[in-house]
Structure 1
Amino acid sequence: MPGLPPLNIAAVTPVLLLALASCTPVPRGDGSEGGSKSLILAHPLPPLAPPRSGVIVPFTQRLAEVSGGRLTAAEYMGGALASDARRYYPMLLEGVADIALVVPGYTAVAFPRTALSTFPGVCDSPTDCTAALQRARTVLQVDYNARILAMWSPGPPVLLTRDRPVRRLEDIRGLKLRVPSGVEMPFVAALGATPVQQPVTEVYQSLQTGVIDGVVMPAGGIPAFRLNEVASFLTIGMPLSATPVALLMNRSAYDLLAPQERRWVDEASGVWLSESGGQVFELATARGLRVARESGVEIIDLSESEEARLLEAVAEVYEAELSRRIGDATVAEILAELLGG
């Protein structure tokens, strides 16, 4: 019609989905009746991202399999419902999506217990870090106004730098380093660097142009964000653990399912799905390091004595945090759950 602006489908899609969700009747019964139901599963990942192949796809396939196709999950990927990854948890709570992938570290203040999984010494690999999350799951659940379907970890971060190789503590001093969340900031500052929070989508340009000197992030993300093109050095041995990733389900959406449908969701999620996420990041970490090496990035593996110096440099920050209370537990008590103590 002349004079009318074109409709922005991307902008109205979340509103339409929310409206439909609010007026769609929820079938009752035990879930064994005929017909089918589809849940909305949203995430910001591209098709080839490790969390999609390791968690999203296995979940949707298992759900369809155990339910005989009577309960499925319709996947809205690549930012179809929101371009900002920080929006996915609020969007889940609002009911725009029934299930969403959330990175707690992006809004760490909202997930204070989960954020402690990034502390030094908690874990040293994707599978080890994922196991730590499973040990503390009962404690971490308090952070979420949603049902945890899976929680896994990409593993501890490496340090990618453009101009200066980091072979010892002194090399870090004065660098401006991008960190995944606010939790890592005091530890990175204790090493003598200036920590900067920045969306991972901006890291390539910032490192290329010198806005930042380096990036603290898991090696598994190197190929996806092409950091091998702009980094010259990669240092292994940073005194940090890992920022987790979670697949969450809206509590009301889960509670409104019939009993049999809830059992299908439970069977398609849980520990096995979390472990699948950790395992796929083991492969992604190896691939990220291989891609970096093949691109000419120098890999620097800190010696045990140098790693000890870095840990000593952050020890004061670590010790100062232990007595802080989060709800009815201290940081030390929550860390003990993660460590299995």
Structure 2
Amino acid sequence: MSMNSLTSDFRYFDEAPPERDAPAPSAARASAGVEPQSVHLRFSGLGKRYEGAQGAVQALRGIDLAVRRGEIFGIIGRSGAGKSSLLRTINRLEQPSEGQVLIDGEDIGSYDSERLVALRRRIGMIFQHFNLLSAKTVGENVELPLRVAGVPRERRQRKVEEVLRLVGLESKRDAYPAQLSGGQKQRVGIARALVHDPQILLCDEATSALDPETTQSILALLREINRRLRLTIVLITHEMEVIREICDRVAVLEHGELVEQGPIWQVFGAPRHPATRTLLAPLQQKLPEDLLGQLQNGRRQPNDRLLLELRYTGASDREPDLAGLGAHLGGRVTLLQGGVERIQGRTLGQLLLAVADTPLAAEALRRQALELADSVEVLGYVAAA
């Protein structure tokens, strides 16, 4: 690999894009529940347009969002939602068309080249496809940003040793990328992102190329880094499992707009926007096919069973109480399927119940069940088993 291509790959460490005029001052609108003194990163009225042969494409529009210092913040959306564009405005690899990105209250759009170089050394970035140089060892890949920055050799060596130990790869310092697994390559990428002691760590689909087991190990490493170094981590992904596993809060993008945001338990427990519900659909339990084929609106036989779906959204302290449900609903109550989990100390999930041998009508049963769940839906009747 030539030195020209090498420096091109890492130009954001020591080069700045052309300056742009600073936007007119505007009052940054705080996101719900985020106190101003806790904000590390804020997007205010942010928009991004790309000019093309077919005309302008609006990738982002009117983004108002705040990220707290030291939290792990997720940004999720389908392909083309604007996730990568938004992430890359944080280190000004993308320049907004309008609005502001503020870090520690300062509009980075007004930074000159020198201040922008300093900013980018405070912001680490992890990529989906690792971006390792195949002809260089693990240690040399991790050391490269420090070499580009002109850090003395002794300090470089100490820092490389420190970050490789942090990510559990001290024994792989002299190995080459071809000798590593996908998870080890990503750990090298994480170590390289940490060599400048950043205050913010950006993760661009950092687990999308990994198998589920390796994904879990990388997420555990990111949690540990967040805990030990008190970094603010912003990650983008299309995987709701990743958001659930690691994030404190999440924002949902759709067609370049911010459509939903909040704590993980809230967004997972009671998603408001159709885009969020679509993204969550693979994690939701569905009515089994055999029951779906039997479903009918009304009771045809005296022993037909009523199906109720009970949901626990985390909005209350309710938890599945099977004994209490049996007593409340009367008759014969059968648990057909269910799934309940704890997220951020709150109970989320759903139960599918079949109720038989009861004199109560469907609406009366729904009201009874609602005393022990956050929401209850009557699905219909099926024939007795």
Fold-level match, TM-score > 0.5?
no
Which protein has the larger Cα radius of gyration, Structure 1 or Structure 2?
2
Structure with the larger helix share: 1
* TM superposition score normalised by structure 2: 0.24
**Which has a greater percent of strand?**
2
Task: Compute the TM-score of the two structures, normalised by the length of structure 1.
Answer: 0.26
